[in-house]
Amino acid sequence: MSFPSIGSYNHQFLSMGNVLSGALRAAQLCLLTLALGAGCGSPTAPTPPEPPPPPSPPPVAEAPTLSCAEGVSRSTVNATGLEINFDTPTAANGEGSVTVSCSPASGATFPIGVTQVNCTATDSLSRTGTCSFNVTVSRLSTISRTTYLAFGDSITAGEVTVPVGTIVIGPGSVTRQVVVPQAAWPAVVLRTLQGRYSSQSNSFTVANHGLSGEQAIYARSRFISSLNTVRPEVVMFLHGHNDISGGRDGAASGAASEIEAMAAEARGRGIRMFIGTVLPARTSGNKHILPAFIDDFNRRLEIVASRQSATIVDTYAALVTDVNRYIGIDGLHPTEAGYAKIADAFFQAIQNAYEVQ
């Protein structure tokens, strides 16, 4: 058995000393590092920095909103309604693409009356905003006849005694008739037609062929001439006052016979005749007609109308309710208020016959 030499032990001892010395230095270094706030141990890779937080999502827009304009109003002569275009309202807010639709849509045919239009805005998140407005379609009245002949005596011409026709000359009161064309019942009929049927206002003709002092028994040739000149679609006829005013024998029957001949002439031409009854009398006037003569003649006119498919216009009834207001102081010619009542009676008859429904 051999033993290591003393030199070998010395070498090992020196090696161990070196190790202990290195360990001591390492411990001292660690203590120093701890004192400085660092850690000890084996070196490691540096800790990576924390990643930044993800960006916040963009804010979501408010839900869409709509604001509709005021309602739309239109007029038409068509019974079925009217095609109407309107501006589609513009949406505010909303996410992404915003679509706007209305029901009924612009360009649709809207019926007569009031229709509610509902509009909706829809964004990409299916959120909606709404508004509504009304479309009002009114129908303009129309009439199928536009050319009229008014035929008669001074009451058709438009003679009045009050308020513009009364004068005083010397002792006592003297009256005279003054023709006031704009007060005459044919002129009032024309204005009424133009007002009621505004879309046709430039199409109307009402020819006033009233002749002061004329008797119906002598009017036929002039009547035929008027038909040839005016070529009316409708005749408004008010005549006979001068025939019966004196109560002459046979005057009523002769005048009625001639009026029937004129009605037959119009009928043969395809022209409808509206015959006004003789007006009531204001018995205090010096030109008044006896009520019995008026009643008899008006019955004759009704017979004429029934035979010739004419229409009776009861102008007598229109004025008899207030004779002192509607008949002038001469007892025969209407006042301006009376002429307006006559015009209204003729207009109502024409409207009933020819207004388009």
Report if residue 8 sits inside a domain. no
Q: How far apart, in whole angstroms, are the C-alpha atoms of residue 66 and residue 81?
A: 28
Q: Which of 118, 139, 160 is the last residue of a domain?
A: 139
Q: Are residues 134 and 199 in the same domain?
A: no
> What is the pLDDT, as a whole number, of residue 33?
52
The token pair that represents 5 in the structure block: 């030499």
Report if residue 62 sits inside a domain. no
Domain of residue 230, CATH code: 3.40.50.1110
Q: How far apart, in whole angstroms, are the C-alpha atoms of residue 336 and residue 338?
A: 5
> What is the pLDDT, as a whole number, of residue 249?
74
> What is the pLDDT, as a whole number, of residue 10?
47
> What is the pLDDT, as a whole number, of residue 297?
97
> What is the pLDDT, as a whole number, of residue 101?
97
> What is the pLDDT, as a whole number, of residue 64?
95
Cβ neighbours of residue 112 closer than 8 Å, sequence gap 6 or more: 76, 79, 81, 137, 138, 139
Domain count, the chain: 2
Q: Are residues 128 and 155 in the same domain?
A: no
Q: How far apart, in whole angstroms, are the C-alpha atoms of residue 123 and residue 126?
A: 5
Q: Are residues 151 and 135 in the same domain?
A: no
Q: Are residues 199 and 103 in the same domain?
A: no
In this structure, what is the dihedral angle of CA atoms 101, 106, 107, 110, given to the nearest 10 degrees?
A: 110
Nearest in space to 117 (alpha carbons), one of 127, 129, 130: 130
> What is the pLDDT, as a whole number, of residue 196?
97
Q: Which of 105, 139, 173 is the last residue of a domain?
A: 139
Domain of residue 104, CATH code: 2.60.40.10
- The position carrying tokens 């239109």 is 74
Q: Partners of 82 in the beta sheet?
A: 110
Instruction: Give the chain's residues under pLDDT 70.
Output: 1-45, 162-176
User: Looking at this protein, which amino acid is placed at residue 240?
Assistant: G
Q: How far apart, in whole angstroms, are the C-alpha atoms of residue 320 and residue 343?
A: 15
Q: What is the pLDDT of residues 79-137, one digit of tens each?
A: 899 999 999 999 999 999 999 999 999 999 999 999 999 999 999 999 999 999 999 99
Q: Are residues 104 and 238 in the same domain?
A: no
Nearest in space to 132 (alpha carbons), one of 71, 177, 187: 71
Report if residue 60 sits inside a domain. no
Q: Exposure pattern of 62-86 as b/e (b: 16+ CB <10 Å)?
A: eebebebeeebeeebeeeebbebeb
Q: Are residues 195 and 107 in the same domain?
A: no
Q: Which of 139, 155, 176 is the last residue of a domain?
A: 139
Beta strands in 40-140 (DSSP E): 72-76, 82-83, 99-103, 109-110, 113-122, 128-139
> What is the pLDDT, as a whole number, of residue 169?
44
Domain that holds residue 289: 147-354
> What is the pLDDT, as a whole number, of residue 286?
79
Report if residue 120 sits inside a domain. yes
Q: How far apart, in whole angstroms, are the C-alpha atoms of residue 137 and residue 340?
A: 32
Rg (CA), the chain: 53
Report if residue 292 sits inside a domain. yes
Q: Are residues 155 and 237 in the same domain?
A: yes
Q: Are residues 179 and 273 in the same domain?
A: yes
Q: Are residues 249 and 279 in the same domain?
A: yes
Beta strands in 29-125 (DSSP E): 72-76, 82-83, 99-103, 109-110, 113-122
